């Protein structure tokens, strides 16, 4: 979120953040939103540690619609979306993932890459569908896996690329939505 906010402030991304949501009560993104004067809400997942209940998805979809959201940009949201949200924003939900999809979907992709002995990794911005990191790719950035890399060192380099390509991908998607 900070990279998106920075790009907006620098004038390299013509967008407005109208709402910040998190499913984690003490998530730093909520603090960042407050510091930036942005409306922020907590998604109530009703005690589910990993699932995103249908009722919560319906409530979230309504909250986003009322706020006038045109494009939903996920970052660090570790729950699968289903019909209530996907249907409310068809082709208008994107995500950033720390691997070169379709390789290493799911959690800790940078660790998966190091443990698999991959020569490169990177990040992917993709449209969100009902699968785990399976939607169509919008943009990717490659990062070499260097001798002696740890999960942490690779993850840091991937994050630098994420901060670069996510705002650019948002610009691309927003332009496509504006042509419809």
Structure tokens at 101: 């999809």
Residue 48: the pLDDT is 72
Question: Looking at the annotation, which residues are catalytic?
Answer: 97
Question: Who's near 165: CB < 8 A, 6+ residues apart?
Answer: 96, 123, 125, 139, 140, 141
19-29, pLDDT tens digit by residue?
Answer: 999 999 999 99
Q: What is the mean pLDDT of the chain?
A: 94
Full-model pTM: 0.94
129-174, pLDDT tens digit by residue?
Answer: 999 999 999 999 999 999 999 999 999 999 999 999 999 999 999 9
């Amino acid at each position: 979120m900070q990279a998106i906010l920075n790009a907006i402030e620098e004038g390299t991304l013509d967008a407005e953040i109208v709402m910040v949501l998190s499913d984690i009560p003490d998530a730093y993104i909520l603090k960042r939103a407050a510091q930036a004067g942005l409306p922020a809400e907590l998604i109530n997942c009703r005690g589910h540690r990993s699932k995103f209940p249908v009722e919560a998805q319906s409530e979230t979809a309504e909250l986003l619609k009322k706020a006038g959201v045109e494009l939903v940009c996920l970052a660090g949201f570790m729950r699968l979306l289903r019909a209530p949200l996907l249907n409310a924003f068809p082709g208008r939900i994107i995500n950033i993932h720390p691997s070169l999809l379709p390789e290493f979907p799911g959690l800790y992709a940078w660790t998966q890459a190091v443990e698999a002995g991959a020569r490169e990794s990177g990040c992917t911005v993709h449209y969100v569908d009902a699968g785990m990191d399976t939607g169509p790719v919008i943009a990717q950035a490659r990062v070499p896996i260097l001798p002696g890399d740890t999960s942490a060192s690779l993850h840091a380099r991937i994050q630098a690329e994420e901060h670069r390509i996510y705002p650019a991908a948002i610009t691309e998607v927003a332009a496509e939505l504006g042509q419809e």
